């Protein structure tokens, strides 16, 4: 694997309409009042590409989705508050279009001067985005002289704004964020500095099988936590109470564990866990060895002994890849294991790469973001890349000529 795509630096963009697909799918909170951005990491991550385009005298047109609206406008998914935040970060006015296609947008774009920035409304307010309709992709392309994909978080989607539009724009390239994401993840897969530790958590084994299989070629240690750990524990013959399990994955988990041992990979599973009567903040909880999970209780986090075991396994790592929390960290009582791993990764003398989504949020809440080498902005895209699969939004971009 050696991905070398044309980037925004390789093309002429001065005074051109540069259409940049960004990923502004940031968490928006509301308590009956206006929408408030809870975490603007993804917006900040896009700034190098946007600022470069501004400095080069381009007319910058930004396109993003937010949430999963059903192909129609939904007020809770508007990008209007994001336009305001982006303006503060750029220290300049950002124009905002109330749609992403149509005559009104084209008229607004026609008024732009070099260095101006226009953010289009949520592209998923139209069914043609997710369905990759040719007519919708062509309508988006009408705004563009140049197309730049800088949205790693949607690079695994075959949508109008990630793949369809490239059929109607002659000059295409990737932005700095997309390039950075690919280089970090590729370095972990192809040539990691050893020892290389992979930490995998989250709910389901089925969502991580491809990653485990692909990383099994290069990894030295695998640490398993989160809900998926209980499927592995069940595969080893342990009783797991009412904990989450994928019954159809038990045999596969047993094979994965056995193959890892045969290849000399050190394979770590929890030795204790936090269990609860139910998965809510007011539930009764206790810490038990994994052999003593009560019949009607649910495993919701790794326990303190597991946290110490995992910390010791991480301590001498030189490359760390982490995707998936150790428990239901969104609830304070069940967050200690995930935060302990976040602190261990943050303080390891290693190149550390954290997968997007929940893991990135966990690192942020643990106040360890600044101590991580790279926090990916894409959860699903990172998983697909780590499985060794092509990303549609990346595949359609041109390669650098030999």
Q: Residues with catalytic annotation? A: 42, 204, 357, 380
Helices (H), 191-248: 209-215, 228-235
Over the range 149-172, which residues count as b (16 or more CB within 10 Å of their CB) and which as e?
bbbbbbbbbbbbbbbbbbeebebb
Residue 145 CA to residue 17 CA, distance in Å, equals 5
Distance of CA 146 to the CA centre of its chain: 26
Interior CA angle at 327 toward 36 and 25, to 5°?
A: 30
| Residues 320 and 197 sit within 8 Å (Cβ to Cβ) | yes
* Backbone region of residue 13 per phi and psi (left: phi > 0; alpha: psi in -120 to 50; beta: other values): alpha
Is residue 148 exposed (0-12), middle (13-18) or buried (19+ Cβ within 10 Å)?
Answer: buried
**Tokens standing for residue 294:** 């009560």
Q: In what order do the strands lie in the sheet with 17-21?
A: 95-96, 117-119, 59-63, 17-21, 146-149, 171-174
Over the range 68-98, which residues count as b (16 or more CB within 10 Å of their CB) and which as e?
ebeeeeeeebbbebbbebbbebbeeebbbbe
| Residues 202 and 329 sit within 8 Å (Cβ to Cβ) | no
What DSSP designation does 67 have? S
| Residues 374 and 182 sit within 8 Å (Cβ to Cβ) | no
| Closest alpha carbon to 126 in 115, 135, 113, 114 | 135
């Amino acid at each position: 694997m050696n991905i070398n795509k044309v980037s925004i630096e390789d093309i002429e963009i001065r005074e051109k309409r540069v259409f940049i697909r960004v990923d502004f799918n940031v968490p928006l909170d509301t308590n009956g009042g206006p929408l408030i951005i809870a975490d603007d990491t993804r917006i900040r991550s896009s700034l190098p590409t946007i600022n470069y385009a501004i400095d080069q005298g381009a007319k910058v047109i930004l396109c993003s989705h937010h949430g999963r609206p059903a192909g129609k406008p939904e007020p809770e998914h508007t990008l209007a508050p994001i336009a305001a935040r982006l303006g503060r970060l750029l220290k300049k006015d950002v124009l905002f279009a109330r749609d992403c296609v149509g005559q009104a947008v084209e008229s607004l774009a026609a008024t732009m001067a070099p260095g101006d920035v226009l953010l289009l409304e949520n592209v998923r307010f139209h069914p043609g985005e997710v369905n990759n309709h040719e007519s919708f992709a062509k309508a988006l392309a009408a705004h563009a002289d140049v197309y730049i994909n800088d949205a790693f978080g949607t690079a695994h989607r075959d949508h109008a704004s990630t793949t369809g539009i490239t059929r109607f724009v002659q000059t295409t390239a990737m932005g700095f964020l997309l390039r950075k994401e690919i280089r970090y993840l590729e370095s972990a897969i192809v040539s990691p500095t050893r020892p290389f530790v992979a930490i995998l958590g989250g709910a389901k084994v089925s969502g991580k099988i491809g990653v485990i299989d692909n990383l099994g070629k290069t990894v030295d240690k695998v640490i398993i936590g989160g809900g998926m750990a209980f499927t592995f524990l069940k595969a080893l013959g342990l009783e797991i109470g009412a904990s989450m399990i994928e019954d159809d994955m038990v045999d596969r988990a047993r094979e994965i564990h056995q193959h890892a041992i045969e290849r000399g990979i050190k394979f770590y599973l929890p030795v204790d866990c936090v269990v609860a009567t139910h998965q809510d903040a007011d539930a009764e909880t206790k810490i038990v060895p994994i052999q003593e999970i009560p019949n009607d209780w649910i495993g919701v986090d790794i326990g303190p002994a597991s946290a110490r075991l995992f910390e010791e396994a991480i301590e001498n790592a030189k490359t760390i890849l982490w995707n998936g929390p150790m428990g239901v960290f969104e609830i304070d009582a069940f967050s200690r294991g995930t935060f302990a791993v976040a602190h261990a990764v943050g303080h390891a003398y290693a190149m550390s790469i954290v997968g997007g989504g929940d893991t990135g949020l966990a690192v942020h809440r643990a106040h360890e973001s600044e101590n991580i080498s790279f926090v990916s902005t894409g959860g699903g895209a990172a998983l697909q890349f780590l499985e060794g699969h092509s990303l549609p939004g990346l595949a359609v971009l041109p390669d650098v000529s030999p």
